[in-house]
Structure 1
Amino acid sequence: MEYRKLGMTDLELSAITYGSFAIGGTMWGGTQKEDAISAIRASLDHGITTIDTAPFYGLGLSEEMIAEAIRGKDRSKIQLLTKFGMVWDGSNNGKGRFFFNVDNDGKNYPVYIYAGRSNVIKEAEESLKRLKTDYLDLLQLHWHDPNTPIDETMEALQQLIDQGKIRAAGVSNFTKDQMAEAEQGILLASNQMPYSMLNRGIEAEVVPHAIAKSIGLIAYSPLERGLLTGKYFEGAHLTEDDHRNGYFSQFDLKKVQKFLESIKPLADQKGATLAQLVLRWTTLQPGITVVLAGARNAEQAIGNAGAMNISISDDEMKHINSELAKVTTKDN
């Protein structure tokens, strides 16, 4: 496993970071608690020291399971990254921006994007309790709140840093201009963004800005929520309440399948899975600090960690990128 410095902070994160969105169950067709806890523990046993979560993932369930999974472990060797700003409990009193309605265990919750000062503090305290820890390594604003000045949010985060409750502050889903505004009020550690072989939009502005300003980039959905593992072209099925039923429709699936078939021989040659090859490719892209990889059981977690055991030569990278370019062409 490689460990990488996050921006200009003193945080060292594992290049493959455990992403816990799926184990929360919300929008993912439920979860199996024992399998999820095993996945987290297997990740730790195989060199993944960093765990990314959010209160929204399972409406608190993901954080609670992480706390159970790391109980008895050396906290100083684990980096806990969480978020704030997606409010579903009504505590925002109508403030913020309505985002969407979400179903959780048969109950409907209206979710708001709200990053007001009092909510930042409130959610941080709640995450500390759910994670059963006295500090968070990184606290990230989940989505930009257009109804709250960015400097107000950053001031609240700085207060938490000064109090020793968080080690560093980051954002998520921020544009280059929003990052620049946030930087005026705080040492911005990172921006967590969607990034994959099929979604490279951040390369235009966000990546160059992050490199220039020494801000870390945390890539989420590198496997496009499982699409780039190839298993959904091999008969895997999704439950009705799994959001990926609609999510996958944004892609030209025939081209994606053809691309995966074109790079599978390379993965086979390395004794790797498609998922491992895709993850390793992502960790090698300019500006990317760490890559989030979800796992719902121990086997998947061990596989994710193993991605860092393979190498990709310059010629192999050219081959992958050449085949990948065909996915975006209109007449291939």
Structure 2
Amino acid sequence: MEYRKLGESDLELSVITFGAWAAGGWMWGQTERSEAIKAIRSSYDHGVTSIDTAPIYGQGTSEEIVGEAIKGISRDNVQILTKFGLRWDLPKGEFYFNSKDNDGQEIDIYKFSSKESIIEECENSLKRLGTDYIDLYQIHWADPTTPISETFEAVERLIEQGKVRYAGVCNYDREQMAEAEKTLKLVSNQIPFSMVNKGIEDQTVPYCIENLKSILAYSPLERGLLTGKITTDYQFQEGDHRASHPRFQSEFVEKTNHFLNQIKPIAEKHGASLAQLVLKWTVERPGITIALAGARNADQAISNARAADIKLSDEDIYKINHHLDQLVLD
């Protein structure tokens, strides 16, 4: 496993970080709790020391699972990344969307990041995680109803109290990052990036490179699309948000799979799966520091972890990029 520091901090993460959204079950169809715990522990056994979660993932379930999974592991040997700013239990801020919880009950989700709300969220997260500090605390989505300065003044207080080590953002553009930095130094931006979703390379990646901020790429496998296991007639579980997602409709899947078949020989040459090849390509992309990869079971988790061990040559990367440049998805 390779480890990289975030920004100018001394916080070092495994280049493949465990993404615990699916572990919480919410919007992915049900996930077996015991299997999710085994997945996290298996990841750790194979060098994945960093875990990214959020309160909204299963409305606390994901954080609880992470807390249970890290019991018995020295806290200094694991890095916990969680978030704030999406409330399902407090109808304040900007309405985001309506969903259903893991019990099938309707919930309304709001973007809300006031000072008081953040302090409350942090306390709740610490309890669910079973820890007394969070390594990286990230705003999940920008809240237009709260000044950015107020939001990061709250995070600054948490850092001063020792409850948070470093501050990061998710889904921020360059202007929002610059505004946040007027209050508090950021180390990272967690943002979607994949072979079929490279839009951040226009502005956000250059900004982060220039200002020494790390990028944590989420959905590098495009929610499973880039594993090569999704077919045009794939049947999703009830409650799986991908069933209606534009990138999982037949035409998009067909074009993506044609591209994956073109790069499959490169994966086979390295004795790797397509998913492993895609993850390794992601962390070799300029400006990308970490790739978040989710897993529902131990086998998936181990496979993701082993992606870090692949050695891609310049020629391999050139060939992948050549085929990617020919991929027209619009």
TM-score with structure 2 setting the length: 0.97
Aligned residue type for 1:20 = A
Shift of 1:16: 0.2
Q: Mapping of 1:179-194 within 5 angstroms?
A: 179-194=177-192
1:99 correspondence with 2:100: no
Given residue 86 of structure 1, which amino acid in structure 2 is its aligned partner? L
What is aligned with 2:48?
48
- Kept in 1, the 8 Å contact 2:232–2:254? The answer is no
Q: Which residue of 1 aligns with 2:277?
A: 277
Equivalent-residue separation in structure 2 for 1:327 and 1:194 (angstroms): 19
Instruction: State the distance in 2 between where 1:304 and 1:261 align.
Output: 20
CA distance in structure 2 between the aligned counterparts of 1:300 and 1:289, rounded to whole angstroms: 21
Q: 1:40 to 1:242 in 2, by over 3 A?
A: same
Q: Does 2:155 align with 1:166?
A: no
How far 1:234 moved relative to its partner? 8.6
Contact preservation (8 Å) 2:225, 2:253: no
Instruction: Check the 8 A contact 2:252/2:329 in 1, yes or no.
Output: no
Distance 2:167 2:275 in 1: 30
Letter paired with 1:129: K
Give the CA deviation at 1:309.
1.0
Question: Following superposition of structure 1 onto structure 2, how do residues 113-124 of structure 1 map, counting pairs within 5 Å?
Answer: 113-124=111-122
Superposed counterparts of 1:17-166, under 5 Å? 17-90=17-90, 94-104=91-101, 105-166=103-164
- Which residue in the other structure is 1:323 paired with? 323
Q: How big is each residue's C-alpha offset from its partner over 1:127-166, in whole Å with a ceiling of 9 and x where there is no partner?
A: 0000000000010000000110000001000000000000
Q: CA deviation at 1:236?
A: 4.9
Equivalence for 2:241? 243
State how far apart, in whole Å, the 1-side matches of 2:199 and 2:9 are: 26
CA distance in 1, matches of 2:64, 2:253: 36
Q: Hey, what's the Cα distance between the residues in 2 that align with 1:34 and 1:267?
A: 31
1:235 CA displacement? 6.7
Percent sequence identity over aligned pairs: 54
How far apart, CA to CA, are the structure 2 residues paired with 1:184 and 1:129?
A: 30
SS, match of residue 108 in structure 2: strand
State the alpha-carbon separation in 1 of the partners of residues 317 and 200 from structure 2.
20
| Structure 1 partner of 2:6 | 6
- The equivalent residue for 2:218 is 220
Alignment-mate amino acid for residue 197 of structure 2 = N
Per-residue CA deviation, residues 93-128 of structure 1 (Å, 9 max, x unaligned), is x42100011101110110000000001101011000
In 2, Cα distance between equivalents of 1:329 and 1:82: 33
SS at match of 1:238: coil
- Contact 2:231–2:254 (Cα < 8 Å) also in 1: no
Aligned-pair Cα RMSD in Å: 1.2
Unpaired runs of 5+ residues, structure 2, are none
Structure 1 unaligned segments of length 5 or more: list them.
none
1:197 has 2:176 as partner: no
Change (3 A) 1:147 1:234: closer
Quote the residue 1:303 is aligned against.
303
The 3-state SS of whatever aligns with 1:170 is strand
Q: CA deviation at 1:327?
A: 1.3
Q: CA–CA distance in 2 between the matches of 1:171 and 1:34?
A: 30
Write the letter of the residue equivalent to 2:64: E
Give, in whole Å, the separation in 2 of the partners of 1:182 and 1:328. 36
Measure how far apart 1:6 and its partner are. 0.3
CA distance in 2, matches of 1:266, 1:287: 23
SS of the aligned residue for 1:167 comes to strand
**1:278 is aligned with what amino acid?**
V
Q: Please say which of residues 252-261 and 202-211 is displaced more in the overlay.
A: 252-261
Aligned partner of residue 134 in structure 2, secondary structure = coil
CA distance in 2 between counterparts of 1:62 and 1:189 reads 24
